[in-house]
Every structure is written in structure tokens, then in C-alpha cells.
Amino acid sequence: MIVIDGHHLSLEEVVAVAREGEAVQLAPAARERLVQGHQWVQDILAAGKPVYGINTGFGIFADRRISSAQAAQLSRNLVLSHAVGTGAPLPEDVVRAAMLIRANTLAIGYSGVRPVVVETLLAMLNRGVTPEIPSQGSMGSSGDLAPLAHLALVFTTDDADRAEDSGWAVFQGRRMRGKAAMEAAGIPRIVLGAKEGLAVTNGATFSAALLALAVYDAGHWLNVAEITLSMSLEALLGASNAFDERIHRARRHPGQVAVAARVRELTRGSTLVDAGGRVQDAYSLRTAPQVQGAAREAWQFVAGVAEREINAVTDNPLIFGPHDAISGGNFHGEPVAMAADFLAIAMSEVAAISERRIFRLTDGNLNYGLPSMLVDTPEAAGLNSGLMMPQYTAASLVLENQTLASADSTRSLPTSGEQEDHNANAMTAARHASQVVANTAHVLAVEAYTAARALDLRLRLMPQAKMGCGTAEAHRRLRTAVPYQAGDAWWGPEIHRAREVLAHRAFVDAVRSACRG
């Protein structure tokens, strides 16, 4: 059971809830803060002083006063009018992550919502009600307004309680109206009160969810990239001097030092490394620590941003006391947008240098004595295409990444009659970063698959040679899942199986453990 209090949610816990169905509950201290914050909102209403979003309109209508009697209608109108997203639905894990993050930020207690709002979100997570959220339509600045409004449609209601106003959700594998899903799960829908409509929809929460899952996945694939690099280095009889510890310590970048150290560890005991007798290799081998190390450091920065954001108050205004409401801009998604752009750039480069190694492995002029396209024998060339097309796929994904990694956070258009005159484009940045990570994962799977075949062919030519402690274990695990085939075969499903092997954290753990014995 994961307990949220608004301050200590980790990326690992987000993943556990979003993907593994871990149960969640609200910390008692957080519940007390929620009760207090809600009372402060009631005090503000009683005082009659205009406070944005509590007794005023929203955005360009911030100067319009709203009576206390209309507070619930104000919240309901906000949800209904803002649920205008479009595009394919977001994946279930993203929606669940966003629900958890929103509950966590509200639990801090500065948003003025009742405990029932947070507890309803947690009940939905625990019982498996997943709202259907369109993936497009958020500027990521006044929060992810449209996606969060679609979320609110499912668990909130009004006196009319019309099913057609309840959005859509998935429950026990079936798509149904939000009202029906909540009833089937036994979760009462709630009528939002003063400030609660704004609190539910204000904040770059879906952007943060996308970033949290993407950066978690990216950390794993950076580990895999060190393994595929080591396999390619051995298959190409690469020179070890480029990984000498002294070189990397001289430049002082910790990511670079770490990548080189990992390659030295994984290739320990190899007689393939340095067997080519070359003074130096092409950049895709020789400068891999510099490139992948820079990506590691970018990842560390982005992970820090993501962890802060999932424990951040992103509402507006914030309620700090019975007569102390402050309007600000914590909803603005710029930190998430910039971090997502940085992650996309970093992972795009990891894929790019991996693809160059794939190309080198398959080119008979560059792979130091292996058959062109890694056909089984030189005589088979022509009748067999070998691994020609997997490199095409990798190249296509790298080109797509180069477009997706173009900075989204630098793009802005004004909204709400120029009241919101600078927008972050955070959700687009996070969606693109997530796709870049997925593309990079497949490129690395192609490299692993290609390098494994190259190692098979290399060991046929050099039967007395020996792989390193880590590369041998990686090769063994890949070959257990995908046996070597001499002639052309349907490579696509085999590459997908290889990707599934690589995707498990147990794979990285086993490969590293093989060098500790």
C-alpha cells in the first residue's frame, strides 16, 4: 500500500500505481490539512472579498464577481466547458499516473478542496476506473485544462446527473460512460464546491505524468544502451583504449566516466576487444561514452525535475490561511516542458549513435570481415537480404526522433484574450519525449539483435575467441529467446521478442551480475 502525503511520492511509486495496480491511500496528516484548507475557502466566501477562481470567473473573466450561491455551478461549468480535448486516448498508465499525481498535489492542502475529492481519485485508482482522456488539446500552461476536465467529467456530477455529461471510462476492460463506470465500481460521484473545479483542472498534471513515466523508462534504456554498445564493440573488434579510465576522468563529466566504466566491466575477459589491431575506431564506438554519458547527465537532471513536479503544488490561487489566498502561476508547465525537451534531445542522440553502430555492423566494408548485411555466408548474399531492413527501421526511427526532439517549449501562442499570453506547450513536449523514448527503445533492440548475430558470425570465424562477462550473458539471454537462424526469416517478430527481453529490468540485473561472480 502506497501512502500519499503530497511530499514524498517517488517515480517508482508512480510506476507501481500506474502500471502494476499498487493500492494507494491518503495519509491521515494530509487529510487533516485538506479539512483545514477547505475551511479556509469557506472563510473567504463568508468574508466576500474577491478571490480569483473562488468567487470570480476564470481567465479573461477574472474581473467578474460570482456569488457564493453560484460556487458549485461555477465549478461545474468550468469542467463542462473545458473538456474539449481531441485525438487518440492517452494510454491507461499515463491516465493512472496523472490521477495519482493530481491526488498527491491536492493532498498538500493549499488548494482548498475537501478530502472527498482526493479520496475519490484514489478509489478510482484502487478499483480500476480509468477515464478516457484525449491526448491533444492542452497548452500545458494554465495546467492541462482539457485533459483534467475530461478526468473530472467522470467523477463529478451536478443535480441533472446526465450520463452524456459524464465522459467515458474503462472499467474491467469495457468502455462505458463515466457515470456507468463509477456506479459499476461502487464509487459515488461528487458535486464540486467552491474552488474545487479550478483545483481539479489547474496544473500541468498530465504533462508531469507523461514525463515521469518517460524518464523512468529512459533510465532503463540508458542501461541497455551500455550493453548494446559493449556487444557492438566486441562484434567489431573495437579498440579498448577509448574507454580507458584516465581519458574520461581527465574530462571530469561523471556520466562519461560512468559509461566507460560500465563498458570496461561488461567486456572484462573478452578476447574480441582489441583483436582488430586498430589504433582507434569510428566515433560511434570511440565517442560513445561522451555521447551516452551526456545523455545520462541530462536524464539525472530531468528525473530531478519530474520528482519535484509530482510533489508540487500546481494550483492557483493557493490558500495559505483563512484570509490568505495568493494568485500566482504555479500551473505553468515551463519546467516540465523544458525538461521534456531535454530528455527528448538526450534520448534522440542515444538512438542516433546506436543506429550508426547498426549500420557499421551490417556494412561489409566497415564491419571488419563479417558478411555484408550479416547474411549467414558470403555465398548467401543476394538470395538473402540478411539484416538490411532492420537498419532501415532504425534509421527511420532516428529521423523521426530528430523531428520530435525539436524544442516544443520555445513555441507559444497566446490564449484567453491575451490574459494567458505566454504558454509552455508542455504536454506536447512530454508526448514527444515519450515517443522518442519508445523509438529509442526499438533502435536499441535492433542493435542488440544485430550485434548478437554479428557475434555469432564473428565467433564462427574466431572459434577460440571469448566474449566478455557481461556481453556473453546478454548474448545468451537473447539467444534463449530468439535462436539464430541461418537464412532470411521474418525478422520483425524476432526483434520485438528481443525488445521484450531487453525491457525487463531483470535483463540488466543479470548482465551486470554476471560480471560480479
> Which helix or strand (DSSP H or E) is residue 474 part of?
helix 469-481
Q: Is residue 76 exposed (0-12), middle (13-18) or buried (19+ Cβ within 10 Å)? A: buried
- Domain range list for the chain: 2-202, 210-513
d(C-alpha 47, C-alpha 328), whole Å: 21
* pTM summary value: 0.96
CA distances from 61 to 18, 127, 143, 414, 488 (A): 36, 38, 17, 16, 66
The three cell numbers of residue 73 are 455551478
What sign does the dihedral 261-265-270-272 (CA atoms) show? Answer: negative
> Which helix or strand (DSSP H or E) is residue 25 part of?
strand 24-26
d(C-alpha 15, C-alpha 217), whole Å: 10
Residue 455: helix, strand or coil by DSSP?
A: helix
Q: For the CA atoms of 45, 50, 56, 61, what is the dihedral angle to 10 degrees?
A: 180
Residue 368 annotated among the catalytic residues of the structure = no
| DSSP 8-state symbol, 318 | E
Length of the chain measured in residues: 517
Instruction: Supply the pLDDT for residue 416.
Output: 76
Identity of the amino acid at 350: V
Which residues have C-beta within 8 Å of that of residue 32, sequence separation ≥ 6?
Answer: none
User: From the DSSP assignment, how many helices (H) and strands (E) are in the chain?
Assistant: 19, 11
Instruction: Supply the pLDDT for residue 59.
Output: 67
What sign does the dihedral 369-372-374-380 (CA atoms) show? Answer: negative
- Could you tell me the fold of the domain covering 2-202? Fumarase C; Chain B, domain 1 (1.10.275)
pLDDT tens track of the chain, all 517 residues? 999 999 999 999 999 999 999 999 999 999 999 999 999 999 888 888 888 778 777 767 777 777 777 888 888 998 999 999 999 999 999 999 999 999 999 999 999 999 999 999 999 999 999 999 999 999 888 889 999 999 999 999 999 999 999 999 999 999 999 999 999 999 999 999 999 999 999 999 999 999 999 999 999 999 999 999 999 999 999 999 999 999 999 999 999 999 999 999 999 999 999 999 999 999 999 999 999 999 999 999 999 999 999 999 999 889 998 888 888 888 899 999 999 999 999 999 999 999 999 999 999 999 999 999 999 999 999 999 999 999 999 999 999 999 999 999 998 888 777 777 778 899 999 999 999 999 999 999 999 999 999 999 999 999 999 999 999 999 999 999 999 999 999 999 999 999 999 999 999 999 999 999 6
Catalytic residue among 52, 216, 368, 449: 52
Three-state secondary structure string covering 169-200: EEECCEEEEHHHHHHHHCCCCEECCCCHHHHH
| DSSP 8-state symbol, 90 | P
Nearest 5°: phi and psi at 320? Answer: -110, -5
Instruction: Supply the pLDDT for residue 74.
Output: 86
d(C-alpha 219, C-alpha 229), whole Å: 16
Q: Give the DSSP per-residue string, 395-450.
A: HHHHHHHHHHTS-STT----BGGGTB-----HHHHHHHHHHHHHHHHHHHHHHHHH
> Which helix or strand (DSSP H or E) is residue 458 part of?
helix 426-461
**Crossing angle (nearest 10°) for helices 205-235 and 426-461:** 20
| Cβ–Cβ < 8 Å for 168, 177 | yes
- Cα R_g (the chain), whole angstroms: 26
Nearest to 423 by CA among 149, 197, 143, 98: 143
| Residue carrying the nine cell digits 575467441 | 465
The three cell numbers of residue 446 are 535492433
Vertex 23: Cα angle to 20 and 24 (nearest 5): 125
Instruction: Supply the pLDDT for residue 122.
Output: 98
CB neighbours of residue 20 within 10 Å: 8
Nearest to 80 by CA among 183, 165, 18, 177: 165
d(C-alpha 181, C-alpha 155), whole Å: 9
d(C-alpha 406, C-alpha 358), whole Å: 24
Identity of the amino acid at 367: N
d(C-alpha 403, C-alpha 406), whole Å: 6
| Cβ–Cβ < 8 Å for 44, 51 | yes
What is the CATH code of the structural domain delimited by 210-513? 1.20.200.10
